[in-house]
Structure formats: C-alpha cells, structure tokens
Structure 1
C-alpha cells in the first residue's frame, strides 16, 4: 500500500467507511446464524475487511486468478449468487449506492463514491470473487 492509498483508506474509515464494513459484518453474522447462509458467511467477512480498506485492493473473478472454474465460479456459484442477492446483496448494494450518491455531491468525495459503486457491484454478485492487491 503506497502513501496515497494509506491516506485514502484513513479518510475512508474516518468519513463513514467503517459503517459499511460493519454492515458487511452484520450480514456475515446473520448468514452464520442460519444453516442455509453458512457458506456465505466467510465471504461476507472477507468483503467486510475489503470494505474497511478498499484502496490498494480490488476484487477479481477467481477464474481470472486461477485460470479454471471451481465450485464458486461454476453453476453452483451462480445459484449461490442468486441466493445471496435475495438474502443480503440487494440491501448492501443499496446502502453502497446511497452512500456513493452522498459522496458524489462533492468533488473531493468522487474517489469515495467510485469505491462505493464498485463495492455495490460486489455486493450484488460476490460469490466466485477474490480480493487481491491492486497492482496484482
């Protein structure tokens, strides 16, 4: 993480990024408490960490990283993403979009708005994604 990414992450946390990370943790806890949601809980916790420090990292499809399909990137991943979308993805994505709209009001908030929009897309379809350093 370079100095600019570090500063952006500190500002992100100070100006509300922590709340979206907490929302992801809550989603993970809810998923962990249900038997049907248990497979999605670890992914929610990993994305919570990514949401806490989004600058310097990015989410990529696991097939792009490994070069092959696996359980989360094949037909079961599609079913998992649809279930995630219904159970938790839509409200997390909506929260990210609303937060992005608030950040986009100011010019200085545009990088944060863009980060929230990327996280909203991830909130809708997270299964089969992996978080990697931005320069990888």
Structure 2
C-alpha cells in the first residue's frame, strides 16, 4: 500500500510541478495560490472527514498550531512557487523543487527530532540525481535539436 501511495504521490507532485509553470500563468499569484490551497483543503476534508478528530475550536493552542502549519506549509510555498515559477525554465523549476526533499528531511531531523537513516538519504539523492540527469538530458537534446536545424 505504501508503494502505491508513494507512486501516486510522485505522479501528482510531478503534475503539480509540470502544470504550475504552464497553466494560468497570467493569473495573479495571490489568487492562484489561494485557489490551490482552497482546492487542496476541500480535497483533504472530503477524503479524511472520518479521520479528523474532534478538537474544541475554542482551544487557543489549536489556533496557534493551525496558523503556523497553514502559513508555512500551505500558504507560503505555493505563493512563492507561483510568484517565481514562470520566471525560470521548466527544467530549472523541476531541479529547484526537488530540493524540497532534503529540506524536509533536515527540518524533520531538527524540528521534530526524527532520526534520518542512510536509506532515506540515498533515496533522496537518487530522486534528485534522476531529476537533474533528466533535465540535463532534455537540455542536451534541445541544444542538439536546435544546432542541427540551423
């Protein structure tokens, strides 16, 4: 099951990266980011409605944690991505976005005191290496294609 969900996550993330620089690039990044976050929220609520525990909304710590998670996990990343993705090439967007993986691992280690195994680092390195090799191959193919057509 974990493998299936991992593959699904990979495909949806790849789709997000691919379409972020191509779809609705003329829309204001603030609006675009708001729509992405709202759509994600609705989807998560629909899928996990039975798993959402009951927490009193008057709990003050709930609002602090929620604001932090929302701001740093859901609002700022898509906003900054929408602000910058259209300014650089799609290949560079893919390479830069792949560095989210080591940042997440390092953050989990520092903030949550998670232990990170060598296998996790190897997997992360493999993913980043594959993305970089793919993009370098695409760049080489495009250079060769343009030089032979001239």
TM-score, normalized by length of structure 2?
A: 0.30
- The structure carrying a bigger helix percent of its residues is 2
Which of 1 and 2 has greater Rg?
A: 2
TM-score, normalized by length of structure 1?
A: 0.32
- The structure carrying a bigger strand percent of its residues is 1
